Amino acid sequence: MNLSFFKYRYRFLLAYIFIGILSIILELSVRFIFNEIFSFNKFSSFSSFILGVLFAFWFNTKYNFKISKSKINRALKYFVIISLFSYLFQNFVISFIGSFSSYEVTRLIVSAGFFWVAYLFHLKFSFRDYKKVGVAIYANGVEDLNSMFKKIENYPDFIHIDIVDNSVNENAQGVLSYKTEVIKAFWNKKFIECHIMSTKPFKWIKEIIDNVDRIYIHVNIDEDLKDILKFIKEKKCEAGIVINQKQEVDYIDKYHKFIDSVLVLAIKNPGYSGQEFRSDALNIIQSINLNKYRNSFSLNVDGGVNQNNINLIEAENVVSGSFVLNSKNPKKNIMVLQTSSQYESI
């Protein structure tokens, strides 16, 4: 394992440790200053702790987990709650065992003891919306899934399956819905979602729903959108809608009770791979992030995602196909996207 890969693999933990050390140093320094000014030690301790928490949160969201702006408030709420419980419990431990030599030394030692638990809680709640990268695999054609697995292994955060039929692309190869089961077998520990590009998606949904965790359908279909979304939810599968045009953002308000995720298709023609990222897709993403129901669903961006635009995309999830699978080093390109094009400089 080379140094660059080691730093990539443990990037969140390493940065969290570094930021945590800085926040503790800041907290104890401010506490010392406040104690010189105020006689109320508890006020000094608590106010300096709050300052340290805000410092740690800001640096983690900006330079480490990179939470999208639309999710910052929710992340801050969890971060403060978890940090506060950790602080109160640590103070209880300190009062129980007494100080080793000084408050500062005791605080550092006890904080180190609770560090790993706090990190796991923050990872599960505070920073769960950091940007994740999925790789797109077509359920059409005869791609060698075994060869594909060797290319990317378990490096993606999730697997994105594309199903395209003749109603969207007249040249589409036959849909091999059984491939969803094979994909599930290869990536059995990964979240698997499926994007169905069809004006009549219901028949495909029935064939694949037991093999996937989330299904995306387009809003402009020939079947009843609400009924299909309800059917997906009733089958204990997450439901999502696909937005390709700015005016389609209005569908979120109408169907927000039935959707778990929104997929922005950032290319011009659905059903055709290898297209460039549309610059106007950023306006669509911005509009969705401002939607009043934004906290109730996740946002995914698919189409033309690469190292040049990953930093511009304000979403929890992105999907890439050709940038990863057609490259000489697919695993490296996944890592480039996961680190917002910073893998080489880690």
pLDDT in tens, 49-95: 999 999 999 999 988 998 888 889 999 999 999 999 998 988 888 77
Task: Round to whole Å and give the CA distance between 210 and 207.
Answer: 8
* Of 204, 192, 201, nearest in space to 227 by CA: 201
Q: Please report the pLDDT score of residue 344 as a whole number.
A: 61
Residue range 329-343: mean pLDDT, rounded: 88
What's at 257, amino acid-wise? K
Both tokens of 51, joined, read: 């300052």
Residue range 267-294: mean pLDDT, rounded: 91
Pick the range with the lowest mean pLDDT from 83-87, 100-104, 128-132, 303-307: 100-104
* Of 253, 319, 337, nearest in space to 288 by CA: 253
pLDDT in tens, 254-264: 999 999 999 99
Backbone angles phi, psi at 220, to 5 degrees: -100, 70
Q: Please report the pLDDT score of residue 265 as a whole number.
A: 97
Inter-residue contact 133 to 318 (CB < 8 Å): yes
Q: Please report the pLDDT score of residue 315 as a whole number.
A: 95
Inter-residue contact 277 to 303 (CB < 8 Å): yes
Task: Round to whole Å and give the CA distance between 113 and 154.
Answer: 32
pTM of the predicted model as reported, rounded to 2 decimal places:
0.86
Beta strands in the chain (DSSP E): 132-138, 158-164, 191-197, 214-218, 238-243, 261-265, 298-302, 317-320
Q: Please report the pLDDT score of residue 39 as a whole number.
A: 74
Q: Please report the pLDDT score of residue 220 as a whole number.
A: 94
pLDDT at 4 over 80: no
Where exactly are the structural domains of the chain? 3-126, 132-345
- Enclosing H/E stretch for 42: helix 41-59
Task: Round to whole Å and give the CA distance between 271 and 170.
Answer: 10
Residue range 95-109: mean pLDDT, rounded: 75
CATH T-level fold of 132-345: TIM Barrel (3.20.20)
Inter-residue contact 343 to 336 (CB < 8 Å): yes
Averaged pLDDT score across all residues of the chain = 91
Residue range 302-307: mean pLDDT, rounded: 95
Helix, strand or coil for residue 135? strand
**How many C-beta atoms surround the C-beta of residue 99 within 10 A?**
13
CA atoms within 13 A on the CB side of 4: 8
Q: What is the DSSP string of 224-270?
A: -HHHHHHHHHHTT-EEEEEE-SGGGGHHHHHHGGG-SEEEEE-SSST
Q: What is the DSSP string of 296-309?
A: GSEEEEESS--TTT
pLDDT at 100 over 70: no
pLDDT in tens, 163-210: 999 998 888 888 889 999 999 999 999 999 999 999 999 999 999 999
pLDDT in tens, 133-156: 999 999 987 678 999 999 999 999
- End-to-end CA gap in the chain: 15
Inter-residue contact 297 to 259 (CB < 8 Å): yes
Q: Measured between alpha carbons, how far is residue 169 from residues 52, 99, 267, 311, 340 in Å? A: 55, 71, 14, 31, 32
pLDDT at 1 over 70: no
Both tokens of 22, joined, read: 């800085």
Q: Please report the pLDDT score of residue 99 as a whole number.
A: 57
Inter-residue contact 270 to 307 (CB < 8 Å): no
Q: Please report the pLDDT score of residue 98 as a whole number.
A: 66
